[in-house]
Structure formats: structure tokens, C-alpha cells
Amino acid sequence: MKDTMVLGIETSCDETAASVVVNGRKVLSNIISSQVDLHAEYGGVVPEIASRRHVELILPVIDNALKEAGITLEEVDAVAVTYGPGLVGALLVGVSAAKALAFSLGKPLVSVNHIEGHIAANYISHPDLEPPYLCLVASGGHSHIVHVVSYSDFRIMGRTRDDAAGEAFDKIARVLGLGYPGGPAIEKAAKDGNPEAFDFPRVNFTDAPYDFSFSGLKTAVINTVHQFVQKGEPLPVEDISASFQKAVTDVLVDHTVSAAMAIKADTICIAGGVAANTLLRDRMSERASEMNIRVLYPRMILCTDNAAMIASAGYYALKAGRTADWRLNAVPSLKIGESG
């Protein structure tokens, strides 16, 4: 059987990325040009700056991905691209490039949901992984518990009602003066802190037991910081970081493991930027093992936004016969399970 090489393109936020993946699992190249340093001085991503930078980088990044893969553009079997959710201007850069390439080559164009791409990152790191399983997707913009029934059937069991987990990390890091991005900064500070120093709230909903809410936690941390400032006392950054990180992790782990038990899943996957958090990985593995549930997560480089995951998800969409036409447009508020 002939191998299928998919060129993946990802520009949903502040990473310009391109990758070539064979048969959805084998990565030949994975080029990521990050804009973290560009946005750090603003404490977060500035959409217009991100869009302009994508325009400058998209073609060189694609060229580098092809060069590293050792193939020509003509050898690509399909072009897969993130078309949502994300920043509309950023998404449009990737969608426009993908449409132009697919049209000029006469190759299929495949639209990929960014969240479904994060889930697919696990197929690359774990070649034996097959649906069904449960996946926690936790990133800067999303927090979902998803029952992955098949490669194309995604059923949401829980979601955030306000801030995503990664967004909460970014906001608290900013309040503590730790800089951007917040996830790694909080984790680093937390290593020297006491996770029991502050009893920050964990929210549970009786009507939707697997849903998340991090706005109350965020407010509690901010109020704690203000109390120290108003009293003129030194701010215990490490203790606050450790206690906040534990509160987020406790909720993510508790809800995910409970959801897995409810559907009798034997595998939990973690995906998204927050999946790089060591405490989350350790606690999820520890809790799940008590229930004889295995826990899988992608390599660190595949937790952040990247195009290899998009190419992988695109491969399975292509196998299912789902391709896009030339009317494909960016959909910034795209929901998981929707396809274009």
C-alpha cells in the first residue's frame, strides 16, 4: 500500500508551523517558528502582530518543512490546515496558503479542527493508540474532556464554563510578575513553593460533573495577592504558584478520571499546552493507575501548537473521505466535532 504524505499547516495563534507526516504517525519534519519573544513584552498574544508575522514566515516555514522531510512539494499527497478555532487573522494566513498550494498542485485540501489536532498528537507519540479512549484537552484557549469514539467521532463530556486552564495560568503568572507564557513560569516557581500554603477553591457542578470553571480560582488568587500588597508584606510567589497549580491540577485530574470511569475507558490521553505540565502528568498517571487506566501524553514538542498534529488529523480525515473545497474559510469559534 502506498504511503500517504500530508503537509500540515498551523497558524491558529502565535506559532507558524509546517510539517510532513506519513500515514498519520511518522513525522518527517516538524518546523515551528514561535512568536513568544515577540509577544512577551505585551504579556500575551497581540492578534494583529501575530497575523503580520505569520504572513512573513509562512512560506519560509513550509519550504523548511519540505527540505527537512527530503521531499518536493509535488510529492505531497494532500494539504491539511487548521481553519479554527483561533485568531481569525492568524487562521486566514494558513488557510490562504493551504488553498493556494492545494489548488496549484491539484491535491486534496483537508480542513482540520485545531482541538482535534491536539488530540491527534497522541497518535504520533503512541503508534499503538487506537480509539476509543478519553482525552483531556487543556491549552491556552480550551479545556475539554472528550470521548474519542473513533478517528472522526468526538463527544464532549466536559468543558470549561469560563477561562481555559492555560488562560488561567497566563493571567496568574502576569499578576505574580512571572512573565509570559504563564504555564512554564508558574511551574518553575511552584517547584520552590508549598502547594498546601493556600487553600484555593475547586469548583464542581452538580448538573454537569465534568465541567470546569477557573474564574473563581483566578479571583481568589488575585485577591490573595492584593491582600499581601495592601499590607505591605512580601509576596510569597512560590507558595501561591504551587497552591494555584495544585488547585488547577486537582480539578483537571478528578474530573477526567471520573469521566473515564463513567464510560469504562481503559486509556486517558492528555493533549494541549497544559499537557506539558509535569505535575498534571504525574498526578493523572497516579490517580488513573489506581483504577487500572493507562495515561498517555505527547512528547513536549507536540504539546504546544504544531503542524505535525494537524497533518496527523488531516490524514485520518482524508481516509474518511472528508476534504474541503475552495470556499474554505477561517472559523475562529469552531467547535470540536464540526468539520468544513
pLDDT at 35 (0 to 100)? 74
Amino acid at 57: L
| 202 shares its domain with 81 | no
Comparing C-alpha atoms, which of 171, 186, 150 is closest to residue 313?
150
Return the pLDDT at 140.
78
The answer to whether residue 340 is domain-embedded is no
Residues 82, 90: Cα–Cα separation, whole Å: 10
- Residue 236 belongs to domain spanning: 131-297
How many residues does the structure list for the chain? 340
Rounded-to-integer distance, Cα 97 and Cα 51, Å: 13
What's phi and psi for 88, nearest 5 deg? -60, -45
290 lies in the same domain as 306: no
DSSP 8-state assignment for residue 233: P
19 with 31: CB under 8 angstroms?
Answer: yes
What cell was used for 172?
496568574
What pLDDT score does 340 carry? 52
Query: What is the identity of the amino acid at 30?
Result: N
172 lies in the same domain as 275: yes
> What is the grid cell recorded at 145?
474532556
**Residues 56 and 182 occupy one common structural domain:** no
Task: Specify whether 11 is located in the same domain as 145.
Answer: no
Say if residue 149 is in the same domain as residue 239.
yes
- In the chain, the amino acid numbered 68 is E
Same domain, 139 and 79: no
> Are residues 63 and 179 located together in one domain of the fold?
no
- 48: in domain: yes
- Flag whether 125 is in a domain: no
Give 10-residue mean pLDDT values along the chain (340 residues).
95 94 98 80 77 94 98 97 96 98 97 97 97 94 94 95 92 92 94 97 94 95 96 96 98 97 97 94 97 96 96 97 96 82
Q: Is residue 328 part of a domain?
A: no
Contact 146, 134 (CB under 8 A): yes
Could you give the CA distance from residue 308 to residue 300 in angstroms, rounded to a whole number?
Answer: 13
pLDDT at 49: 85
Does the residue 168 lie in any domain?
yes
The pLDDT, as a whole number, for residue 206 is 92
The answer to whether position 309 is within a domain reads yes
Residue among 258, 246, 243 nearest 283 (CA): 246
pLDDT confidence of residue 339: 62
Q: Is residue 331 a part of any domain in this protein? A: no
Residues 184 and 114 both lie in one domain:
no
DSSP 237-291: HHHHHHHHHHHHHHHHHHHHHHHHHHTT-SEEEEESGGGG-HHHHHHHHHHHHHT
User: In angstroms, what CA-CA distances link 203 with 55, 75, 254?
Assistant: 41, 51, 11
Q: What is the CATH number of the domain that holds 18?
A: 3.30.420.40
Overall domain count for the chain: 2
Do 114 and 155 fall within a single domain?
no
Instruction: Name 145's bridge partners.
Output: 136, 158
Residues 96 and 210 placed together within one structural domain of the fold: no
Contacts 24+ apart (CB under 8 A), 13-16: 13/45, 13/50, 13/86, 13/87, 13/90, 13/140, 13/141, 13/305, 14/38, 14/39, 14/45, 14/50, 14/53, 14/90, 14/305, 15/304, 15/305, 15/306, 16/53, 16/54, 16/57, 16/58, 16/61, 16/93
Strand order in the sheet with 143-148: 154-159, 143-148, 133-138, 267-271, 294-296
Q: 230 and 168 in one domain?
A: yes
Considering the domain boundaries, does residue 339 fall inside one? no
